[in-house]
Amino acid sequence: MQMIKLGSTGMSVSRLCLGCMTYGDPGWREWVLDEAASEPFFRRAVEAGINFFDTADMYSLGVSEQITGRMLKKYAKRDETVLATKVYNPMGPHPNQAGLSRKHIMQAIDASLRRLGVEYVDLYQIHRYDPLTPVEETLEALHDVVKAGKALYIGASSMYAWQFADALHRQRANGWARFVTMQNHYNLVYREEEREMLPLCHAMGIGVIPWSPLARGFLAGNRLKQGWGDTVRAKTDDFAQNLYYQPGDFTIAERAADLAQKRGVKPAQIALAWILSKSAVSAPIIGASKPAHLEDALAALELKLEPEEIALLEEPYKPHPILGHR
C-alpha cells in the first residue's frame, strides 16, 4: 500500500481512505449494509494495507460509528489506524443536537468516542460550515477538543474557499489548533474545487481527502440517462441525482468508459487514477458495497494515466453550480 503524509502533518495515511457511510443500518438508507455484510470490507481493507477510515456521527445516526469501531478493534491495531469522524448534522430533533456550537461539539465528540469505543480520534472534522454559529466559537471549541486529547487533528469539509481561508487565519491569530485537512467534493464531473479551494490547500499545506471521487457511483459506468441506473444505490440516491446526471456529465463518464475499455480496466479505476494523479490530493475517500468496488479501488493505485489521457478526460468539462456545500 502506498502511504503519504496527511498534508503538512507528520501522520502517514494510505493513499486510499475507506469511507464508512455504507456500513450501518439499512433502515437509514436502502443501500447501506448491516454489520454482518460490512465485516468483509473492513477485513479486506486492513489486509490490503488501508489504515485510514472515515465515518461520521450522522451516518445511520451513529450505527456506522459503532460498526466501524467494532470492526477496527477486531481487525486492526489502534496505534496503526487513522480514524476520522465528523460533527455538524442533526443527531436528534432538538436544536442543540446539530450545528457547530460549543455545546453540540462537546456533546458530539463524547458521543462519537463512546460509539467508536476509543479514547480519541485521529481526525475530527466539521461536516459542513455552520452559518448560524460564530466561527470563533466553533474554532475555539475544536481547539479545546484537541487539547483535551479527544482528537489529534481537526479537519473541515465542503465550504467556500474564502470561509476556509478565514477560519485558517483566525486559528493562526489565536494560537488555536489548525485545520489540517479539507474533505471536499471533487471528481471528474465536478471540478469547481480547482478554481480556489485546491490552490488554497496546496499553498497552506492542507491535506485534501475528497468525498465522492466516483461521483457516488456515477463514474462507475452503470448510470443511465433514463431511470438513473439498475442498482439500488442508483435508483434511491436522491442526493446523487441532484448533483449529477447532466448531459455533459454523461459525456465525461462515456470518455472514462471508452478509455477503460482501451486500457482493459474498469471505468471506476480510470476515475480514481485521475484523482490520484492530482498533486493536491492526499487520499480520496472510497465507498464499497460490493467486493469488486474495493478491488477496483486498490487496482487504481497501480494505474498511471498519460498526460494525453488526462486531457481527453478533462476536455468536455463544463462549469457547474456549487454543489455539495449543503
**Which residues are identified as catalytic?**
59
Ranges of H-type helices in the chain: 35-47, 63-75, 102-116, 135-147, 161-174, 197-204, 232-236, 238-243, 247-263, 267-276, 291-300, 307-314
**Cα 36 to the center of its chain, rounded Å:** 23
Q: Which of 94, 40, 92 is nearest to 71 (CA)?
A: 40
Q: Which of 302, 180, 190 is nearest to 244 (CA)?
A: 190
Give the angle subtended at the CA of 68 by the CAs of 62 and 72, to the nearest 5°: 155
Distance CA 74, CA 35 (A): 13
Cell 490520484 appears where? 276
